[in-house]
Amino acid sequence: MELIEDTNKFRLVRKLAEGGMGAVYEAHQLGAEGFEKTVALKTILEEYTQNTEFVEMFIGEAKLVADLVHQYIVQIYQLGKIGAIYYIAMEFINGVDLGDLIDRHKAMEKRIPVELAVYIISRACRGLEYAHRKTDMDGNLLGVVHRDMSPGNIMVTYEGVVKVTDFGIAKAKNIMLDQEGEVLLGKVHYMSPEQARFENTDGRSDIFSLGVVFYELLTTEPLVQAESTIATLQQVADFHIPPIREKIPDIPDEVEAILSMALNKDREKRYQSMGDMAHDMEYFMYNKGLGPMQVDIEHFLKKIYPNSTGFAPTQEGKKKTVAF
C-alpha cells in the first residue's frame, strides 16, 4: 500500500517531570486546519543519547506499549526522533499519581477510604492483567512483566480513571531488553522478594509490587523503611509483613486477606494472576450491592484537590513549537 508521510509538530507547554535519563513535557500536537491535541512527550535527555542500552529500552517501551491498548493503561501514539533525540508522544493524563495522593493524605493526617483504595488498585489489576496476557500476532504469550510498579506509576485522572504507566523497564519476549540475573532494575522499596534476589520474574512479581502500593495507599506509610539500598534489598528478600490491622484496626477481613495473599513472599502461595486478585477485590466491592464507581473517585478527588478545575494549568511565558 502507498506510504503517507508527514511531519509531526508539537508546541511544548511545560516540563512535567525530569529524572534518571529522561524528561516528560506537556505539549500540543499540531495538525492541519488548526487541529491541536494535548499530549505528553517523553524524551531522552541529550547527554544520554549515546547510551545504547538506555536508547534500546526507550525504543522497546514504545514498541511494547503501542500494542497495549487498554482503558487502564496510558496509551502511546508515536515514537519519533529529531537529530539524536528520541521522543514518545503519549496520552496526557490530567490528574495525579498515587504518590501524590498518598502524600496529600499523609499531610492532612487522613486515610483514603478503604473502598476507594480497593477500587483504584482493582483497576490497576485489570490493566496489568491485560498486559500479562498479551500475545503476539501468532498468539504466543509475550510474557510482559512491568517490574516497576510503584505509586508514581499509577495515575488517576480528575475524572476518576485509573491508568498504569511507565513500562520503561518492563520485559517482554523479543521486544524489551532482558538482563534479569545480571542487572537489578526497578525501585527497590517495591520489589518482590524474587526480584530483589536477582531471580527471573513473572506476573506474580508485579502482584507483590502492587500489593506494596496497596498497603501504602491504605496506610499512607511506607511498607519497607530501610535507608540504604543494600539494607532495603535484604529486608525485601527476607520479607516479613507487619499485619495491616495494627495500622487499621477496623479493616474489613476480606481486604486484609487480599493484601496478605498479594504480599506472600512465596510466589507459589501468592495470587497466581492479576485477574484472580481483581476478582476478589471486585467481589468485596459489589457482592452486597452497589459499590464504588469511577464517578466516586472523581468526586473524591475534587474534595482532596479543591483548586483543580479538571484542566491542568498552563504556565505563562513563551511557548516553543518544535517539529519532530
Residue 208 is assigned to a structural domain of this protein? yes
| Residues 258, 142 within the same domain | yes
| Residue found under cell 512479581 | 205
Could you tell me whether strands 85-91 and 154-157 are parallel, antiparallel, or unpaired per DSSP bridges?
unpaired
CATH number of 37's domain: 3.30.200.20
Question: pTM of the predicted model, to two decimals?
Answer: 0.89
Which residue in the list 97, 148, 166, 178 is annotated as catalytic? 148
Compute the distance between CA of residue 151 and CA of residue 136 in angstroms, rounded to an integer: 29
CATH number of 233's domain: 1.10.510.10
Compute the distance between CA of residue 199 and CA of residue 89 in angstroms, rounded to an integer: 33
Residue 285 is assigned to a structural domain of this protein? yes
Residue 220 is assigned to a structural domain of this protein? yes
Compute the distance between CA of residue 137 and CA of residue 149 in angstroms, rounded to an integer: 27
Residue 163 is placed in which grid cell?
Answer: 491508568
**Nearest-CA neighbor of 198 among 237, 144, 235?**
237
| Residues 243, 256 within the same domain | yes
Q: C-alpha 199: how far from its chain's center? A: 22
| Residues 133, 266 within the same domain | yes
Active site residue 6: no
Residue 173 is assigned to a structural domain of this protein? yes
| Residues 187, 300 within the same domain | yes
Tell me the residue range of the domain where 64 lies.
9-92
Compute the distance between CA of residue 147 and CA of residue 169 in angstroms, rounded to an integer: 7
| Residues 61, 133 within the same domain | no
Each residue's pLDDT expressed in tens, for the chain with a length of 324 residues: 788 877 888 999 999 988 777 899 999 999 989 999 999 999 988 888 888 888 888 888 888 898 899 999 999 999 998 888 899 999 999 999 999 999 999 999 999 999 999 999 999 999 999 999 999 888 999 899 999 999 999 999 999 999 999 888 787 876 655 566 555 676 888 989 888 888 889 999 999 999 999 999 999 998 877 666 666 667 666 767 888 999 999 999 999 999 999 999 999 999 999 999 999 999 999 999 999 999 999 999 999 998 876 544 444 334 444 443
| Residues 84, 107 within the same domain | no
Domain end (from 92, 120, 140): 92
| Residues 282, 242 within the same domain | yes
Domain count, the chain: 2
